[in-house]
Amino acid sequence: MRVFLIAGEASGDRLGGALMAGLRTLQPEIRFDGIGGPLMISHGLQSRFPMDELSVMGIAEVLPKYRHLKRRIAETAAAIAESRPDALITIDSPDFCLRVVKAAQQLGYDGPVIHYVAPSVWAWRPGRAKKMAKLVDHVLALLPFEPPLMEAAGMSCDFVGHPVVAQPRATESQARAFREAHEIEPDAPLVMCLPGSRKGEVSRLAPRFDEALIRVRDRIPELRVVIPTVPGVSRMVRDMTRRWPTAPIVVEAEDDRQAAFMAADLALAASGTVSLELAANGVPMIIAYDMAPLSRWLIGMLLKTDTVTLVNLVSDTRAVPEYLGRNCRADLIANALLELLEMPEKRASQSEAMALTMKRLGEGGAPPGLRAAKSVLDFLQRRG
């Protein structure tokens, strides 16, 4: 059995790696082709070009790279049409992936198409599901309320659990060792700063996050800051934070990252799936995000929900405060961080919401990668 997979960013690479491991467990002779990052490569994929080329977001960010992305779409579609895999699995990154699917089908590929991560039609552009149904046969959903939305649009869909429930977590002793290694006093507040995993996000959010943290540090001088980062933006984060008045601890190694999540008292994070990683580790959070002005305006016109934070959505609460768009301001963020530090009831409310979120995302069940693999194979068997 031959499967062609496409992932376009770090989160997709994690999903793809777990899915590949699950598929190989259930069908050991399977062979892989496509585009992915280091985790997918570690499971046997030879990526046709570096996945980092696709890690862009927002209309204003994509436009300068449009010609290059268009060329990569054509190259990938041609590879699919030529290799004729038994299944094509696209992972998130719909702007790139679905264009590839359409181009590959125009070139003659008529095999099954599976998309991993349902489009967030509950948040904006609900018509996307029906458009996707013209190209995609089956969807693997991360959120429990998504399958009915996909099925109504004409695709089969399984909730396979969110990968955050299977991610390893540090122990309390590892968290203590992290604090000791970085000379953080046991009672000193440790704030985790997460300004994003894309260069555009980091350049836009990091200065505002820094200003907010300076305001908090003025009130609480013993405050320490840790920034877990990823390879694609690690150098950029380190270069930017050298100019910060009080240098944060920047960690990239996975063990250090996990220990930092367990050691942190609260977090200031960009909007995205990292809110679930914080929830898994029980870290109270403030979410803040902004985009380029054109992207911000367009998204604001289309947004259909009053929250973008997954903890709020999955738990059916609004426990996690958000500072988005024009409200992504250092003064507002700093006040919210101080409230969270100084008001135990706000932390308790978040703790309840985070525990409920993890339960609803599949904590305690089979690993999501294995559930996703089983869904893929069951779908292909039904299809014949």
pLDDT in tens, 3-46: 999 999 888 999 999 999 999 999 999 999 999 999 999 999 99
pLDDT surpassing 70 at residue 63: no
Tens digits of residue pLDDT in 101-149: 999 999 999 999 999 999 988 766 788 999 999 999 999 999 999 999 9
Give the C-alpha separation, 101 to 270, whole Å: 30
Tens digits of residue pLDDT in 172-217: 999 999 999 999 998 999 999 999 888 888 999 999 999 999 999 9
**The pLDDT value given to residue 78:** 98
Spatial CB neighbours of 320, under 8 Å, sequence gap ≥ 6: 275, 285, 286, 287, 307, 309, 311, 312, 350, 353
**The pLDDT value given to residue 57:** 47
Listed range (87-96, 300-309, 371-380) with the worst mean pLDDT: 300-309
pTM, whole model, 2 decimals?
Answer: 0.82
Task: Supply the CATH classification number for the domain 172-360.
Answer: 3.40.50.2000
- Higher-pLDDT residue of 384 and 277 is 277
Edge-to-edge strand ranges of the sheet holding 322-324:
249-251, 224-228, 190-194, 266-270, 285-289, 322-324
Domain ranges (residues) in the chain: 2-161+365-383, 172-360
Fold of 2-161+365-383: Rossmann fold (3.40.50)
